[in-house]
Amino acid sequence: MENSLPSIPAKRYFTIGEVSELCSVKPHVLRYWEQEFTQLRPMKRRGNRRYYQHHEVLMIRKIRDLLYDQGFTISGARNKLHEIVQIEGDKRRQGEVMLDGIEVMDAAYSGLGDFPDSADFEDGEMLNDEQDLPNGQAAQQRLQLVRRELFEIRDLLSAVH
């Protein structure tokens, strides 16, 4: 079922409505899951509006998979999610690659050619006129943002312990 979900756009924050569509879960269910899964903590701003980050969208998809596709109970899914976080933390401490698919991303990243590292951007900074860049540089910029988010996710997961 997870394969039929839409791809997650490369952006920093998502509203509850966007996450609802990306994960095929109603907004009231997302709010309930926040109470049941302590790892799920969207940022709240103006008027208590929720803003989810990329790693939280991935976590919601995992929770959805555990509950809807694998048939776990809320309690079972909570335990399984805790177990997954613990295993990933152990892998990190042992120096293993923590996130599935990071090797693919590194291969894609290395295949972009030799662009200068000056294309790194500060947090939250994105190039508005991406269409003005050569295709390789635009792709490199998007991959750098994804890579930074993956490292942020890794750090957040390791901080849970």
Residue 88 predicted with pLDDT over 90: no
- Helical segments of 52-134, H only: 54-64, 74-93, 102-110
Give me 161's structure tokens.
């312990």
Residue 91's pLDDT is what?
80
Q: Which H helix or E strand runs over 53?
A: strand 49-53
Residue 24 predicted with pLDDT over 60: yes
> Which position has the higher pLDDT, 119 or 7?
7
Give the mean pLDDT of the chain. Answer: 77
Residue 64's pLDDT is what?
96
Torsion, CA 139, CA 140, CA 144, CA 150, rounded to 10: 50
The rounded radius of gyration (Å) of the Cα atoms in the chain is 17
Confidence of residue 129 (pLDDT cuts 50, 70, 90): very low
